[in-house]
Amino acid sequence: MSASSYINAILESIKIRANEPVFLQAATEVLKSLEPILSAEKKYQEHAILEQLIIPEKIHTFRVIYCDDKGKANVNLGYRVQFSSALGPYKGGLRFHPSVNLDLLKFLGFEQIFKNSLTGLMMGGAKGGSDFDPKGKSEAEIMRFCQAFMLNLSKVIGATTDVPAGDIGVGGREIGYMFGMYKKLTGFYDGTLTGKGLNWGGSLARTEATGYGCVYFTDEMLKKAKQGLEGKVCAVSGSGNVAIYTIEKLYQMGAKPVTISDSNGFVYDKNGIDLELLKEIKEVKRGRVSDYAKARKDAVYTEAKAYKKGTNGVWSVPCDGAFPSATQNELNLEDIKTLYSNGCRFVSEGANMPSTLEAIDFMLSKKDFHFGPAKAANAGGVATSQLEMQQNSSMSQWSFEEVDKKLHKIMKNIFNNSYETAKEFKHAGNLVVGSNIAGFKKVADAMIDHGYI
């Protein structure tokens, strides 16, 4: 069968098995870009690599019940999707958000396989989480939920088998409660979770890693085109972990980030986002971007319900480059057309799959546009998680500078590997093709080496 017929048959099999639109979207993006390598090397089809890759090795689903502050029972669904262990222990974050379902976690777990492979470090791919909504919950409710979630999760994770971390709705606080419960249940004090606190096994620079890594990647991408970040006006979406440290590193590189957002609206601060105020509101007070706007003269807040239908308001702000750092499908074809006509010439994805397939096609079709896809651009977080695992297994702690230096080197390598691979497969400049093929090749070759298991 030709490579393109093989790819279409596999995508068809996903549609037949289940109605999973976001997983199908993620699979379509990856599989379509693998055509050059699947045409050149028949072994992947002979060994049924795609048939295997689209099915998680294991899916764990469980009931989570916890008691709220009024003494009432609350029930949620918990998951861990262990997608691939070809390159190392399962690795990937946990998301707590009401939209979490199996489709969403399959998309995230699938992406994680190739992202983790690209880092060059030993890690398989996984994702997990719950449809629990942390918004409006008390500290005690968050703690009880995390403990109840870990009661089940602890049975399927371990320092050399599966190492979860944070994602949307799961940060240092939640990792702390989950680690405490894991330790109590198993008796192990080890590197089973990453993103831990600094005085109990965490790595310096893990908090900063995804945002910093995304900006390091962008710097490489722009340097290749003989450009730079200095003086560039940047639109950033989201206001969580990834957005905050993208903004911090953008300032360090001489750029000016002018926006932040959440699910209620966005802020345009033409003088540049006040980073200390943002950290105070989000990391200390756990507030909203509307609180930022209230505290900052000249910052303009627009509510989400005022956005033009079918668009994300944050992308209406004129900028040189955009960093989608909130969630999936937050940047569509209309958004990218608006960005482009307002002068935007690069996008680096801090979030997972923030751009729709149509938006990606638009960006790749423009000769004067630079697109850093999520798997490559946001891999700094998970890469630094693996550096945390290395420190835990040797019972050591490296300095901030040491970890940051390693992170920077990893991001340069990811860029170069993606760039060179795209060139090798006759798609020069297309980092989607480059990163997907480079990530795929390592995983697929390992699967062949391991035999049919």
Say whether 42 is catalytic: no
Q: Quick check: 430 binds ligand 2IT (CB under 6 A)? A: no
- With respect to ligand 2IT, which residue has the nearer C-beta, 382 or 433? 382
In the numeric block, which tokens belong to residue 90? 């399962």
Q: Quick check: 327 binds ligand NDP (CB under 6 A)? A: yes
The set of residues, in sequence order, having a beta carbon less than 8 Å from that of 347 and lying 6+ positions away, is: 321, 322, 323, 324, 331, 336, 339, 355, 363, 369, 370, 371, 372
Q: Quick check: 352 binds ligand 2IT (CB under 6 A)? A: yes
Exactly one of 81, 382, 387, 422 binds ligand 2IT (CB under 6 A); that residue is 382
In the numeric block, which tokens belong to residue 178? 């989950």
Exactly one of 263, 271, 393, 399 binds ligand NDP (CB under 6 A); that residue is 263
The set of residues, in sequence order, having a beta carbon less than 8 Å from that of 209 and lying 6+ positions away, is: 245, 380, 381, 383, 384, 385, 403, 407
Q: Compute the residue count for the chain.
A: 453
Q: Quick check: 244 binds ligand 2IT (CB under 6 A)? A: no
Which among 141-149, 171-179, 181-189, 381-389 is the span making contact with ligand 2IT, rule CB under 6 A? 381-389
Q: Is residue 412 a contact partner of residue 221, using CB atoms and an 8 Å limit?
A: no
Q: Quick check: 91 binds ligand 2IT (CB under 6 A)? A: yes
Q: Quick check: 196 binds ligand 2IT (CB under 6 A)? A: no
Instruction: Give the containing element (helix H, strand E) for 238.
Output: none
- Round to whole Å and give the CA distance between 157 and 407: 25
**DSSP label at residue 349:** -
Amino acid (1-letter code) at residue 45: Q
**How near is the Cβ of 167 to ligand NDP at its closest, in Å?**
5
Q: Can you tell me whether residue 18 is helix, strand or coil?
A: coil
Q: What share of the chain is helix, strand, coil (3-state, %, to 5)?
A: 50, 15, 35
Q: Quick check: 117 binds ligand NDP (CB under 6 A)? A: no
Q: Quick check: 434 binds ligand 2IT (CB under 6 A)? A: no
| Residue 92 interacts with which of ligand 2IT, ligand NDP, none, CB < 5 to 8 Å by class | ligand 2IT
- With respect to ligand 2IT, which residue has the nearer C-beta, 197 or 231? 197
What residues numbered 226-245 form the site for ligand NDP, per CB under 6 A? 238-243
- With respect to ligand NDP, which residue has the nearer C-beta, 50 or 439? 439
Q: Quick check: 165 binds ligand 2IT (CB under 6 A)? A: yes
- Round to whole Å and give the CA distance between 344 and 342: 6
**How near is the Cβ of 88 to ligand 2IT at its closest, in Å?**
12
Amino acid (1-letter code) at residue 156: V
Q: Quick check: 330 binds ligand 2IT (CB under 6 A)? A: no
- Round to whole Å and give the CA distance between 188 and 197: 16
| Residue 168 interacts with which of ligand 2IT, ligand NDP, none, CB < 5 to 8 Å by class | ligand NDP
Which among 22-30, 313-321, 339-347, 377-385 is the span making contact with ligand 2IT, rule CB under 6 A? 377-385
Angle at 208 between CA 79 and CA 289, to 5 degrees: 80
Burial label for 333, CB within 10 Å (0-12, 13-18, 19+), is middle
Q: Quick check: 381 binds ligand 2IT (CB under 6 A)? A: yes
**How near is the Cβ of 167 to ligand 2IT at its closest, in Å?**
4
Q: Quick check: 109 binds ligand NDP (CB under 6 A)? A: no
- Round to whole Å and give the CA distance between 383 and 187: 27
- Tell me how far the alpha carbon of residue 275 is from its chain's centroid: 22
Q: Quick check: 325 binds ligand NDP (CB under 6 A)? A: yes
Q: Quick check: 119 binds ligand NDP (CB under 6 A)? A: no
By annotation, the residues acting in catalysis are 127
